[in-house]
Amino acid sequence: MRLLVLGGTRFVGRHLVEAALARGHEVTLFHRGEHGAGLFPEVERVRGDRERDLSALRGRSWDAVLDTSAYLPRVARASAEALRDATDLYLFVSTISVYAPGAPLPLREDSPLVTLDDPETEEVRPDTYGGLKVLCERAVEDALPGRALVVRPGLIVGPDDYTDRFPYWPRRVAEGGEVLAPGDPGRFWQFVDVRDLGEWMVRMVEAGRTGRYNVDGPRRAWTVREVLETCREVSGGGARLTWVSDEFLEREEVRPWADLPFWFPADDPVLRGAYDVSVDRALEAGLTFRPLAETVRDTLAWDAARPAEGGEGRPGMSRERERELLDAWHRTDRGEAGPHNQGERR
């Protein structure tokens, strides 16, 4: 197949292109050239800024367009309208953030969607991101009725994760010592390896599938304990996990996601939905998952091979802050030794 990828050089787009090439497809990248200059020397590259000018794509056609990089409805609409006569199928990468806070769980493709107070805004913030993606989806579906494939990924992990959320945990556990492990160790974390997502999307395009699909990890597959224990087993380090309660973390003003990636207070209705997403439709359409240990191992190897850089902008807390919190936890009654704070899997 001849595929046009809008984006294609960072994280999701990069692994989508790798999957397409591995399956023998001809790929054209349309991007600004700000990232991944040395990637994919075998593919055609068309330089351009999709927000300003799509004329370089005029007069051409592809079997499918794969849009990984639209965040504003205006931009999604312009691309979809410009390319609707140039392709049979248009894949749009959206997000599970489109679902309304407090929607019944698990989140399904027909769950209520978030609405924006100001649908004209073009400021992408945590409180507008999901609503803007809803409008992007509608713009694509309106431009290509019956020919749009909308993919709503959950939390995406794996190599090349520039968000640095998941890499915090393999990196921190590999460093060893006493590790602050957040909340209930029996709580489930749900996420999907970017490589499983990328390959599945390519196979969906090959099959000519349309419609809306949640794509995430299997529901209730991995507890927080299992994820962190897997990080310890893969890294071979001697990390000791100390489980610290939600109440303590909230009292100490630990910021969910920013200070402890993937952690959230148990009563947070928005973040709770991030770990309770139905992927039944995607499973029926062939979504598969690699072992958790493989994701951890490859993420750790990618992270270790990255050029040294300052960690100021990374999610996660400093070792000094972690030590302060652990010392404070041990001074409380809750910090007494118990089954949650042992080094072995129970």
CA distances from 310 to 249, 255, 306, 307, 313 (A): 26, 21, 12, 10, 8
pLDDT digits (tens, 9 = 90+) for 293-346: 999 999 999 999 987 664 456 899 999 999 999 999 999 866 554 445 544 433
**E-state strands within 140-189:** 148-153, 156-157, 178-182, 188-189
Q: Which domains does the chain have, with CATH numbers?
A: 2-153 (3.40.50.720), 168-190+221-274+293-341 (no CATH)
**Scanning the structure block, which residue is given the tokens 């010592």?**
177
Return the SS3 of 308: coil
Q: How far apart are CA 32 and CA 50, in angstroms?
A: 8
Dihedral pair phi/psi, residue 30, rounded to 5°: -115, 115
Q: What is the pLDDT of residue 336?
A: 52
Tell me the DSSP string of 41-83: TTSEEEE--TTT--GGGTT--EEEEEE----SHHHHHHHHHHH
Residues 6+ apart with CB under 8 A from 237: 173, 174, 175, 176
Q: Residue 336 CB: number of other CB atoms within 10 A?
A: 8
Q: How far apart are CA 38 and CA 216, in angstroms?
A: 30
Task: Choose among 89, 75, 178, 80: nearest CA to 122.
Answer: 75
Contact 179, 242 (CB under 8 A): yes
Q: 134-148: b or e for each residue (b if 16 or more CB lie within 10 Å)?
A: bbbbbbbbebbeebb
Q: What is the pLDDT of residue 84?
A: 96
Q: What is the pLDDT of residue 175?
A: 95
Q: What is the pTM of this model?
A: 0.93
Q: What is the largest CA-CA distance in the chain?
A: 70
Q: How far apart are CA 17 and CA 27, in angstroms?
A: 7
The residue ranges of the chain whose pLDDT is under 50 are 310-311, 337-339, 342-346
Q: How far apart are CA 276 and CA 23, in angstroms?
A: 31
